[in-house]
Amino acid sequence: MEKLEIFELIERMAALIRSEERKKCTELGLQPVHFQVLDYLSRCNRYSDTPAALANYLGMTRGTVSQTLLLLEKKGFLEKKSDSNDRRMVHLHLLPEGAAILTKARSTELFKRATLLLKNYHIDQNEIIFANALLALQKAHQSQSFGLCKSCRHFTPTGSGFVCDLTKEPLSQNDSEKICQEHSVA
């Protein structure tokens, strides 16, 4: 087999994952973008659960995202709620029906089998290699990192919990373990 560049390998992995997603989505009557929206909402924190953040994450126009959100809201998969402090801001929340369909659509079996096979190669640095490749792609694309809150340079543990130094607001354990659009690599 010819030696492939790391980004060619990533492209092939992404193609396999997307193929599996399309197959699962077709079985459930979803479009892949519906899956991507539901997946994002299951993984984002309260600073990133807005239509604008979603559009930025998916690299789509706000109009396209808006139409997708309307459809998913009609199906009972998500709801929109006005921000309690700023009524102009809308937050998106995954509903139980959306979480259930997301669980069915995820390619968990594919990942379980691949993870087991990967462990056979005794590669200790898997996460670091993939995290660095993702960071390089994000920098090349000049996009936000959307990393885990607790890995951000603004994340600060305190005696009573956590605080975001960017917003000066307290963070819950749940927020700290989710992705954030304001993420800045430490």
Write the DSSP symbol of residue 84.
S
Q: Which two tokens stand for residue 133?
A: 């490749």
Mean pLDDT over each residue of the chain, to the nearest integer: 86
Quote the pLDDT of residue 1.
47
CA torsion 63→65→69→71, rounded to 10°? 70
Of 172, 116, 17, 9, nearest to 163 by C-alpha is: 172
pTM, entire model: 0.82
- Contact indicator for 93, 49 with CB cutoff of 8 Å: yes
Place of tokens 């199906």: 75
Percent of all residues in the chain with a pLDDT value above 90, rounded to a whole number:
44
Cα 123 from Cα 125, distance rounded (Å):
6
- Domain positions in the chain are 6-106, 145-186
Q: What is the pLDDT of residues 85-120, one digit of tens each?
A: 888 899 999 999 999 999 988 877 777 787 777 777
Architecture of domain 6-106: Orthogonal Bundle (1.10)
Amino acid at the residue 74: K
Write the DSSP symbol of residue 181.
T
Quote the pLDDT of residue 76.
97
- Range with top average pLDDT, 3-7, 36-40, 129-133, 148-152: 36-40
Cα 166 from Cα 34, distance rounded (Å):
31
**Paired strand residues for 164:** 155, 169
Q: What is the pLDDT of residues 62-89, one digit of tens each?
A: 999 999 999 999 999 999 999 888 888 9
